[in-house]
Structure 1
Amino acid sequence: MLGGLLALLSAATFAFETAAARRGVLTATVSQGLSITVPLGVPIFFVIAAAFGALGTVFGFSVEAIVYLALAGILHFVWGRYCNYRAAKAMGANLVAPVQQASMLVTLALAIWILGEHLTPLRVLGIGLVILGPALSYDRSHRRQLDTIAGAPVETDAPKVFQPNYAEGYLFALLSSSGYGVSPVLVRLALENRGLEASLSGGLISYVAAAMAFAMILLLPGQWRHVRSLDRGAAKWLVISGVGVCFGQMLRYMALALAPVSVVTPIQRLSLLFRLYFGHILNPQHEVFGGRIIAATVVSLAGALALSVSTEVVQSALPLPDWAKAFLNWHWP
Structure 2
Amino acid sequence: MLLAFGVMVLIPLALLAIGLRQEMTRRLSEEYQVRVDRVVEVIREDLHRESTGISQRIGSLKSALLNDNRFRLAAVAGVESERNYLLDYAGEAMRLTGLSMLQIQDSDGRIISSGHFRNEHGRLEPALAAALADARSGPVLLTTRTPAGDFLSLARSESFRIGGRTFTLVGGVAVDKAFLARLARDRAITVSLLYLGGGLSSDPAEETASTETGHADAAVGAFQVPVIRTGAETPLEVVQARLQVTQSLAPLRTLQRRVDSWFLITAVGTGVTALLLALWQSSRISRPLAALAQSGCALRRGRD
Higher RCO (C-alpha under 8 Å, 6+ residues apart): 1
| TM-score, L = length of structure 2 | 0.25
Larger Rg: 2
Q: TM-score, normalised by structure 1?
A: 0.24
Structure ranking higher in strand proportion = 2
Greater helix proportion: 1
